[in-house]
């Protein structure tokens, strides 16, 4: 089983399961928990450190044959976050089962995805593109081709704060009203506010952002349903069926991954890389079974 962790490291990543599973914690998973408590990454949600997990069938998705567990492990948490952002906060309708994807383009309502090369941003772009929306995204120039390959119509460099607002306004014909802020720090929400059209709208954030960044724009709402919404409201479970269909048709790509050696022993190094902003356009993955000594405990 493979594990990918969100950069905040607060909660356990949901492990991909092939269908309705499983039974009980194995001896191995208890061992993994015990080992972890004595190593320096105790903040990790230990509920995720197990080889098998129990899940309700409607809250799972089938992994297509062409995808390995390592790649699939990047999907559940980041995708559930996008369900909260796109389908709940921005009120984009979930494409009905059996739709021909992508849905016909609707260029009237452009959506900005701030942080298009991040894990959450990459999934937001794909969901919006498949739902027929025009997508404008921000990313470093080295990731522009990657972000376009996910379905973004226009990509702008966010690092020049003078220019980025003007470029977004141009790309959205001055009528930006919907934003997924997949970064929600380092001025991202503040800059997105400046790019809005005259009628305001909604910014969905992945972190809590203070309303003061709106600088008096009462016509703009900052909201954040988060991944939890998937489990709170059964109507969002349809998003898993949409995901399954899009994956099966190879219309939805998991994040590019980098598998770190030595399983859980590398988690600390991975977080240090994350904190130093040394991760770009890739998801770090740890194979639990690669952890030295785990099988002997």
Ligand X SMILES: NC(=O)c1ccc[n+]([C@@H]2O[C@H](COP(=O)([O-])OP(=O)(O)OC[C@H]3O[C@@H](n4cnc5c(N)ncnc54)[C@H](OP(=O)(O)O)[C@@H]3O)[C@@H](O)[C@H]2O)c1
Among 55-63, 65-73, 137-145, 209-217, the segment contacting ligand X (CB under 6 A): 137-145
Helix 119-130 / helix 238-248 crossing angle, nearest 10 deg? 90
Q: Which of 140, 175, 197, 273 binds ligand X (CB under 6 A)?
A: 140
Q: Say if residues 32 and 294 touch (Cβ distance below 8 Å).
A: yes
Encoded one letter per residue, x for contact with ligand X by CB under 6 A and - for no contact, window 13-52 reads ----------------------------------------
**To the nearest whole angstrom, how small is the minimum distance from the Cβ of residue 154 to ligand X?**
15
Which of 29, 53, 88, 138 contacts ligand X by CB under 6 A? Answer: 138
- Rounded to a whole number of angstroms, the minimum distance from the CB of residue 205 to ligand X is 9
Q: Is 6 in the site for ligand X (CB under 6 A)?
A: yes
- Could you tell me which stretch among 3-11, 17-25, 41-49, 126-134 binds ligand X (CB under 6 A)? 3-11
Checking 103-106 for CB contacts under 8 A at 24+ apart, the result is: 103/130, 103/131, 103/132, 104/132, 105/132, 105/133, 105/134, 106/132, 106/133, 106/134
Distance, in Å, from the CA atom of 97 to the CA atom of 110, rounded to the nearest integer, reads 24
Residues of this chain, 95-134, that bind ligand X according to CB under 6 A: 114-115, 117-120
Asked if 122 and 285 touch (Cβ cutoff 8 Å), the reply is no
Residue 155 dihedral angles phi and psi, to the nearest 5° = -125, 135
Query: Minimal CA–CA distance to 130: which of 229, 256, 253, 281?
Result: 253
Question: Pseudo-torsion of CA 182, 83, 271, 44, nearest 10°?
Answer: 140
* Cβ closest to ligand X, residue 143 vs residue 225: 143
Assess whether the previous peptide bond of 102 is cis (omega < 30° from 0): yes
- Nearer to ligand X (CB atom), residue 7 or residue 131: 7
Q: For the chain, what is the total number of helices (H) and then of strands (E)?
A: 10, 9
For ligand X, the binding residues in 59-98 under the rule CB under 6 A are 77-78, 81
Nearest to 191 by CA among 218, 162, 221, 170: 162
Q: Choose which of 281, 285, 286, 291 interacts with ligand X (CB under 6 A).
A: 281
Smallest CA-to-CA distance from 263 within 13, 7, 93, 36 is with: 36
In the complex with ligand X, the residue whose CB is nearer, 87 or 114, is 114
223 near ligand X (CB under 6 A): no
- Report the nearest approach of ligand X to the CB of residue 85 (Å): 9
The only residue of 87, 158, 196, 252 in contact with ligand X, by rule CB under 6 A: 158
206 is a site residue for ligand X (CB under 6 A): yes
Residue written as token pair 């494409």 = 95
Binding site for ligand X (CB under 6 A): 6-8, 77-78, 81, 114-115, 117-120, 138-140, 143, 158, 182-183, 186, 188, 206-207, 274, 279-281
């Amino acid at each position: 089983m493979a594990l990918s962790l969100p950069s905040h490291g607060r909660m356990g990543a949901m492990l991909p399961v092939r269908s309705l599973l499983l039974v009980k914690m194995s001896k191995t998973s208890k061992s993994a928990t015990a080992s972890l408590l004595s190593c320096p990454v105790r903040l990790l949600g230990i509920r995720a450190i197990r080889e098998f997990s129990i899940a309700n069938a409607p809250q799972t998705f089938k992994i297509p044959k062409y995808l390995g567990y390592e790649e699939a492990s990047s999907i559940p948490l980041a995708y559930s976050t996008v369900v909260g952002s796109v389908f709940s906060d921005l009120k984009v309708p979930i494409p009905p089962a059996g739709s021909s994807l992508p849905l016909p383009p609707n260029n009237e309502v452009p959506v900005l995805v701030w942080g298009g090369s991040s894990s959450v941003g990459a999934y937001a772009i794909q969901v919006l593109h498949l739902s027929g929306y025009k997508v404008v995204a921000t990313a470093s120039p080295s990731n522009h081709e990657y972000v376009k390959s996910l379905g973004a119509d226009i990509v702008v460099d966010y690092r020049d704060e003078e220019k980025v607002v003007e470029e977004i306004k141009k790309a959205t014909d001055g009528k930006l009203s919907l934003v997924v802020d997949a970064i929600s720090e380092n001025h991202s929400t503040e800059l997105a506010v400046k790019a809005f059209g005259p009628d305001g709208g909604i910014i969905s954030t992945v972190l809590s952002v203070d309303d003061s960044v709106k600088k008096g724009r009462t016509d703009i709402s900052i909201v954040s349903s988060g991944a939890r919404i998937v489990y709170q409201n059964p109507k969002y479970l349809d998003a898993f069926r949409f995901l399954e269909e899009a994956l099966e048709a190879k219309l939805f790509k998991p994040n590019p991954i980098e598998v770190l050696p030595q399983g859980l022993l590398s988690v600390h190094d991975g977080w240090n890389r994350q904190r130093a902003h040394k991760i770009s356009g890739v998801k770090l993955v740890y194979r639990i079974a690669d952890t030295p000594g785990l099988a002997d405990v």
